Structure 1
Amino acid sequence: MPCTEAYKEHIMYMFNGFCKTVIRFAAINAWRDRSRRRQKEISLEYLTEEKFYPLGTTDEYFEAPYEEHPITICGQTVILTNGELAAALLSPPEKNREIIFLYFFRQYTQQEIGEMYGRCRSTTGYQISRTLRLLQKKMEVLSHGESESFAL
C-alpha cells in the first residue's frame, strides 16, 4: 500500500513530537535527581564548623606493624602474622606439617604430594583434611587459653 506525502509528513510530525516529549521528561527527571542529591549532600563547612569532624584521621591498621612469627618447614621459612596459627602449626608431626606446607604454600596437588610420600591421592587428601581439623581444634584451644594436647 503506497503512502501519500501527507501521511509521511504526519508520521514525521508525530515522531518529532514523541521525541520532544521524551527529551522533556528526561530533562525533568534529571533535574529532580539532581535536586534530590543536593538535598542529601552536606557541605564541608557544615561538617568542619558545626560538627567538629577532623578532616583527616590515622588508622591504627597502618600504624602498628604485624607481629611476625617465623616457622621453618621443609627447609623454608614461612612468616605468619597470626600467633595462634603459628603455634598450632608447630604442634603436628613434621610429616603432616610438610604436607600442609606443600599443599597450601607451595600449591602442590594432592597427587604430587602423594607421589612424594608414596601414598595415593585420597590418603593425602584425608591427611590434609584431618590435619586441618586438628589445627582448627588446636587454634580454638589456644584462643580460649585452655591447655590440651591433640595427638595426630
Structure 2
Amino acid sequence: MIEPDRTEWQVRCAFNAFCKRVLKNEAINIYNERRQQQSKEMTFSDLTPQEENQLYTLDKHYEGGEEHSFQVAGMKITSKLLAEALRTLPKEKRITVLLYYFFNMSDVEIAQHFDIPRSTIQYRRTSSFERLKRFLEEHADEWDD
C-alpha cells in the first residue's frame, strides 16, 4: 500500500513542477512581448513637430480664397455676418433655431427634448427669426470686409 501512495505523490510533484514551468515560461513570454511593444511605441511628447502634424488633418475648404456670400434684397449676406447674428440671440433661442433649421426637428420634437410646451418653442423660433432679420437688415452693409 505504501508504494501506490508514493507513485501518486511523484505524479503530483511532476505535475506541479510542469505547471510551474509553464506559468514561468508564459510570464517570460508576456514580459518579452511587452518589452518589444514598448520599444516600438513612442509618447506624444517624444514626437517631432513634423510627426505630430501627420496625426491630424484640417479641413481647408473655407481657408483662404474668397468668402462665400449671397445677395438678398440688395444686401450682401456673408457667413461672418450670419454667425454674428446667431451669436446675438440668447442661448435658448439660438439652440431652438439651430435644431429647427439645421437639424430639421419639429417644434414638437424640440419641446419634448427640453420638456417645455410646444408653443414656447414656436414663440422662441418666430421671435428669433424676427430678431435675426432686424440684425441682418441693420448690419448687412457693414460686413463687406
Q: TM-score, normalised by structure 1?
A: 0.42
The structure with the greater share of residues assigned to helix is 2
Q: TM-score, normalised by structure 2?
A: 0.43
Q: Which has the higher contact order (CA 8 A, sep 6+)?
A: 2
